[in-house]
Chains A and B, each alone.
Chain A
Amino acid sequence: MAAAMTAIDVGGLLDKLAEQRRDRAGISTTSLNLVCFVDDHDLRERMSARIDELAERYVSRAILLSCEDGGHAVRSHSIEVNDTVVTHSEQIHLAVRDVAADELRSIVQGLLVPTVRTVLLWAGEHLTDARFEALGSLADTIVLFSSARDSGSGSLREVLALRGTAMERKVRDLAFLRLAPWQDTIAQFFDDPELVDELPHLRRVEATTGSAPEAYYLIGWLAGRLKWEACGRNEFCNADGRTITVEIERGPVPRRIYSVQLYSAGCVFSATMEHDADDLICLTVQGEKPRQHRCVPLHDIDMVSLVERAIFMPRGEIFSETLGMVERLLQHEP
């Protein structure tokens, strides 16, 4: 059920939702507020689809703010559980192109379900946008999409600028969260007691990725874990002063890592997406300590799983450590 409106009348929007709940005469529960800000038309379509996916799985109220002309709408989605109608999700779409930051904050605050967790999905272009700070102040968790646009390391530098601010502890970046299965896969090489000894002897890292933030995060994570220090452009030095070179190649699919190769003195560790299946990574170890080729599933990288992780996992020291490494690496970039 959808109802078009013309002005941002918070009370009117809430009345519409209440009316739809009354029509169904069932139960309404909400466990999450999702606020999504988007200022690009193509991204709006994508985010709208993702919000729908999230609404399928979360009992939530979603508020989609887009910088476009047009009306506002509310709609709710109900399901039947044990012969009882349950209002499962509610969505409010608002066109907010000319709405100032403070006013936007006030509107959104009025639309939130009080006492439940609020997550801001920020798909705006810049984190310096006053609306980011305004909406961020309402959120318990802020999910960023630093690789949503093809801006090289630009968006990552804006994420780094949040370090030390009040926003820092709330922020999660989907580009980093998306790495989790890759981190786990790379770690799997060195769960093997005979191969873990190769880690201090790594000399070169090659990553093929569709967007820069994922590559920087992956390399920053490796460097942080192995106590490397950035010592030149695309170069790290390990504790023994030996140089590790880094090469980042552009991959075929945006926002996805395609392959990672690690070279030690005697082995090449390779993790590559399977050609025919984009949800499998195949691992090989060649050289002095070869291992049987095997494939592992690339799981939980869909938007819903990532947001789930962003909401419920603590920010973690590893992300902070990785950001520190990325910052130092980028200091050597022109």
Chain B
Amino acid sequence: MTVTPGTAGNGLAQVANPLREGLESTRITDPCTIVFFGASGDLFKRMLMPAIYNLRLQDQLPASFGLIGFARSPYSDDEFREYCKSCVNEFSRSGPVKEPLWNDLAQRISYITADFDDTKHFETLRTRLDEYEKQFGAGRNRLFYLATPPSVFPKIITQLKRAHLDPADNPAGWSRIIVEKPFGTDLASAQALQTEVEKVFNENDVYRIDHYLGKETVQDIMALRFANTIFEPIWTRNYIQSVQITAAETLGVEGRGGYYDNAGALRDMIQNHVMNLLALVAMEPPASADANAIRNEKYKVFSAIAPPAPEEVFHMSVRGQYGPGAIAGEAVPGYRQEPDVRPDSNTETYAALRLYINNWRWAGVPFYLRSGKRLARKVSEIAITFNSIPHRLFGEKSDTIEQNVLVIKIQPDEGISIRFNAKVPGQKNHIRSVTMDFNYGTGFGVQSAPAYERLIADAMRGDATLFTRWDAVQRAWEIVMPILEVWQSIRDRSFPNYPAGSEGPESAAALNPGWRPL
């Protein structure tokens, strides 16, 4: 037998299995136990547990695997298994559980009713992990998933250290942590959280999740740019007039008024999701597909964006708040009428920015970002508008020759479309724009996996490509902080300034008269 050092992914040598050679398998090879903090919460119920089951169904989980739920709500192990089963039955994309497969998974699931302030419960977790590692051969590889409210993150991280569950106390395996967004509520709180994280985990062991980055189309931005030769040469200020990134929702705050009223659209969407999309569109080609090579390039984009001076804020940003209106013909209340929202709230439910990237490739090209709730249509897309033709050769005088637009559609229908001009058949030389569409749902014989499945699997594999590194998080906060501070210090007396179900505040047109209709 040959020995291949380091193939286990944990620094340990592993004896090569000759039957593995040439087999295509997406299975995670490192044995591991995943601990979900906040396992009785909504995220676990709707997203995380169904994702784990579907990874099992696709045979991607490692053969030696365990799952421990850790939360305040009281459950016995059996009750928690039943709860997990009900989560899958209700929310899994693959329908109800397959019993033999579920039974196999269920025996690897247990639960600890815990108080996050009590170190004894974390010591119980350590004992349980030791038991799992013996019982299921789960190695000493541990993935901690923080699916709790962000206010509890520092406490959990500190308790992990106290209970000797930190990487330094586990040299025989890996210890990684997935941190749900938001990573901080402003620059200072993000730095404070990072200080706590750094005391326990190395940056390489921290996976800051932004589920947007797990979506297939987001990943396809890089394939579109770097697996084709036709786009990259024109991906510059010489050919591109502007870039619009939209993340619009028809939903309101959906029972999260208390949280949202302290967050707002800038924190909730722009600082993380939308800025990440901007980085993928604007970054230079990385030298390799290695996580750090990609994340280096993303950081360079952020570092080329100057945070606005306070006096510039109102020239490069627009905020809005929805009032009562109608969505799909149904009357909906205004933001200030939502439960747990202050009746005089100054929180924005709509934010639009104009940013410039000060580098050779993008100098002078405006990047328009917008996100909002209760807008006319649910749509997430990146639209790249190319320059106008330099000289008109075709078309009748009455014809409008529209600019070429490349649209990367993220949701609801993932795909790519290109608008170009074509001659209308007939003797006249009329020119009209047409759209060529590629749709992921119909273009390939395979379906995209939901983002959480991809991201959890990547964290188990140790692939951080689709997770955000601290330097980028910090820089994104630095960019939006001046806007946040000005918005917080100066009340917007026009609020509410757009009706639910509309395109957003009219003042957004002053920032960009060419917003794509929703």
Contacts and interface: CB of A to CB of B under 8 A. Distances in A.
A184 interface: yes
A57 B445 contact: yes
Contacts of B21: 225, 318
A188 B20 CA distance: 8
A313 B23 CA distance: 11
Contacts of A180: 23-24
Interface in A49-99: 54, 57-59, 79, 81-82, 84, 86, 88
B358 interface: no
A33 to B, nearest CB: 14
B19 interface: yes
A199 B100 contact: no
B17 A190 contact: yes
A172 B408 CA distance: 35
Interface string B1-44: 10000000000001111111111110101000000000000000
A280 B103 CA distance: 12
A277 B100 contact: yes
Contact of B100 (A54, A79, A276, A305): A276
Interface string A29-41: 1010000000000
B1 A196 contact: yes
A196 B445 contact: no
B98 interface: yes
B228 to A, nearest CB: 16
Contacts of B24: 180, 313
A334 interface: no
A79 B249 CA distance: 25
Nearest to A193: B15
Given A31-B443, A191-B29, A297 B58 contact: yes
A121 to B, nearest CB: 14
Interface string B100-139: 1100100000000000000000000000000000001100
A58 B57 CA distance: 24
Interface in A209-250: 222, 225-226
B59 A181 contact: yes
Interface string A292-326: 10111101000011011000010011100000000
> Closest 7 interchain pairs by CB?
A318-B22, A187-B19, A57-B445, A190-B17, A308-B445, A295-B104, A81-B439
B505 to A, nearest CB: 26
Contacts of A84: 435, 437
Contacts of B327: none
B96 interface: no
A190 B19 contact: yes
**Which applies to chain B's interface (DSSP): helix, strand, loop or mixed?**
loop
Most chain B CB atoms below 10 A, which of A57, A58, A79, A274: A57
Contact of A191 (B20, B58, B445): B20
B149 interface: no
A332 to B, nearest CB: 23
B490 interface: no
Given A225-B21, A280-B101, A308-B446, 11 more contacts: A54-B445, A57-B446, A81-B441, A84-B437, A180-B23, A184-B59, A190-B20, A199-B17, A226-B18, A305-B445, A317-B22
B340 interface: no
A267 interface: no
Given A31-B443, A86-B437, A295-B101, A184 B27 contact: yes
B57 A27 contact: no
Nearest to B436: A27
A296 B445 contact: no
**Which applies to chain A's interface (DSSP): helix, strand, loop or mixed?**
mixed
A268 to B, nearest CB: 17
B47 interface: no
B25 A196 contact: no
B445 A304 contact: yes
A299 B445 contact: no
Contact of A183 (B19, B27, B104, B437): B19
Contact of A184 (B23, B99, B441): B23
Most chain A CB atoms below 10 A, which of B24, B57, B435: B24
Given A31-B443, A86-B439, A187-B20, A280 B27 contact: no
Nearest to B412: A82
Contacts of A292: 136
Nearest to A227: B18
A316 B22 CA distance: 7
B66 to A, nearest CB: 12
Contacts of A27: 436-437
A14 interface: no
A27 B419 CA distance: 13
A282 interface: yes
A192 B63 CA distance: 9
30 contacts: A27-B437, A58-B445, A81-B437, A81-B439, A81-B442, A82-B437, A82-B439, A84-B435, A86-B437, A180-B24, A183-B23, A184-B27, A186-B19, A191-B29, A191-B63, A192-B63, A193-B14, A197-B1, A199-B18, A225-B18, A280-B98, A282-B100, A296-B63, A297-B57, A297-B101, A305-B445, A305-B446, A308-B446, A317-B22, A318-B23
Contacts of B17: 187, 190-191, 196, 199
Interface in B50-74: 56-59, 63
Contact of B63 (A225, A294, A304): A294
Given A58-B445, A88-B442, A318-B21, A299 B101 contact: no
A279 interface: yes
B235 interface: no
